Amino acid sequence: MSVETAKILPLRDGAGTKPKIVAKNVQKYFGNVLAMEDISCTINEREFVAIIGPSGCGKSTFLYLIAGFEKASQGELLINNELVVGPGPDRGVVFQEFVLFPWLTVLRNATLGLDIKGVPRQEAEERARKWLRLTGLSGFENAYPSSLSGGMKQRVAIARALSYDPEVLLLDEPFGALDVQTKNYMIQDLQNLWVEANRTIVMITHSVSEAVQLADRVLILSSRPSRIIADVAIKLPHPRDLRDPQVRRYEDEVTALLSAEVDKAMKRERQTFAGRS
C-alpha cells in the first residue's frame, strides 16, 4: 500500500454517509504557543476513527475540543452541523484514568449521568444494567471500585458513558493504564461492543496496533503545531487479529508514516538547537 492509496476513504459496512463531526481549519493556542496549526477533517456517523501522532502533538487537545472542554482559537468544530460551544449530552467521554467515585457501587457509578439528568431510577438502572452486561460486569452491580481490577474499572467507565446514550463516544487513551494482557482482552471486547453500540467513536491512542485493530480510519497528526498528515482507511472487517498479514501490512503502513514524521520533528529540533549554540 502507498500513502496515496491510504488516503482513499471507503466506509465500513453499516457506517453512515452523513457527517457527524466536522473540523474546519481548527487552530488552538495556549498563550503564545500554537498547538494546532490547521486541523480539518470529517468523521461520519457510526465511524470508528483513531487519532495518533508524536508525543505532545495535541491528540488529547483535539478530543477535548470535540468534547467541548476546550475552545478552538480559530476555525470551526461542528457536530450534526451545529457549532460546539461546550460539553453536551450528545458526547460521552472515557478517560485514560478510571474516573469512578469510590463511595458508589458499580451500578450507581454507571447511572450517575442519568441520575444527574433526572432519568427515573428504574429506567436509569435498566439502561445501566444493559451496558454493564455487555461489558461483562453482570454480577458486579453492587461491588465497589476498590474491589475491581483496572480492566473492570475501565469497563464501568465505558458502560457509564454508553448508558447516557450519547451519539459520539470519545476515548482518551482508554487502555493506557492497563497491563498488556488486560488491554488485549479490552480491545477484543470493544470491537464487539462497538457493533452493539452503533455509535460514532473517536479514540486517541499512541499505539499503532490499537489504532489498526479497532478503527475504520486512522488520522495521523504531525508534531506540534499539529495538522493531519495522513488519513488511512483500514479496509478490513471486524474482528481483527494482529497476526493477520493484512492487519500487519496496515500496521507497517501507519508505523512508516508516523516514524517519518517523528524523524522530521527530531531533525527540526536538532537544527533549532544547533542554531542556538
What's the average model confidence in pLDDT over 75-103?
91
Question: Which cell goes with 145?
Answer: 471500585
- Comparing C-alpha atoms, which of 162, 190, 163 is closest to residue 174? 190
Please give the full DSSP string across 72-123, using - where no structure is assigned.
-SEEEEEETTEE--S--TTEEEE-SS----TTS-HHHHHTHHHHHHT--HHH
- Is the pLDDT confidence value at 35 over 70? yes
Q: What CA dihedral angle connects 206, 207, 212 and 218, to 10 degrees? A: 10
DSSP annotation of 54: S
* Cα distance between residue 184 and residue 162, in whole Å: 21
Containing structural domain, residue 214 = 14-89+199-273
Domain count within the chain: 1
pTM: 0.86
Helix (H) or strand (E) holding 125, with range, is helix 121-134
Q: For residues 224-231, give the mean pLDDT.
A: 93
- Does the bond joining 89 to the residue before it have cis omega, within 30 degrees of 0? no
> Does residue 74 belong to any structural domain of this protein?
yes
86-90, 181-185, 268-272: which has the minimum mean pLDDT? 268-272
pLDDT of residue 271: 63
State the pLDDT at residue 7: 36
Whether 3 maps to a domain, the answer reads no
User: Residue 60 above 50 pLDDT?
Assistant: yes
Q: Does residue 140 fall inside a structural domain?
A: no
Residue 214 lies in a domain: yes
Instruction: Give the mean model confidence (pLDDT) for residues 101-109.
Output: 95
pLDDT at 174 over 90: no
How far, in Å, CA of 154 to CA of 196, rounded?
Answer: 18
Instruction: Report how far residue 217's alpha carbon sits from residue 47's, in angstroms, rounded to the nearest whole number.
Output: 8
What is the mean predicted confidence (pLDDT) over 86-111?
Answer: 90
pLDDT of 15 = 58
In eight-state DSSP terms, residue 256 is: H
The yes-or-no verdict on residue 236 having pLDDT over 70 is: yes
Mean pLDDT over the full length of the chain: 86
Residue 210 lies in a domain: yes
Q: pLDDT tens across 247-272, in order? A: 999 999 999 999 988 887 777 666 66
Instruction: Identify whether 191 is part of a domain.
Output: no
In a domain, 229, yes or no: yes
Query: In sequence order, which residues have a C-beta less than 8 Å from that of residue 18 and are 6 or more positions away?
Result: 44, 45
Residue 9 has a pLDDT of 36
Residue 56 belongs to a domain: yes
Spell out the residues 6+ positions from residue 181 whose beta carbon is closer than 8 angstroms to its own.
none
Q: Are 90 and 80 in contact (CB under 8 A)?
A: yes
Q: Distance between CA 109 and CA 22 in Å, rounded?
A: 31
Tell me the CATH number at 70.
Answer: 3.40.50.300
Q: What's the mean pLDDT in 173-200? A: 78
User: How far from 105 is each of 56, 96, 102, 133, 174, CA to CA, in Å?
Assistant: 35, 20, 8, 15, 21
**Predicted local confidence at residue 194, as pLDDT:** 75
Give 110 or 267, the one with higher predicted confidence: 110
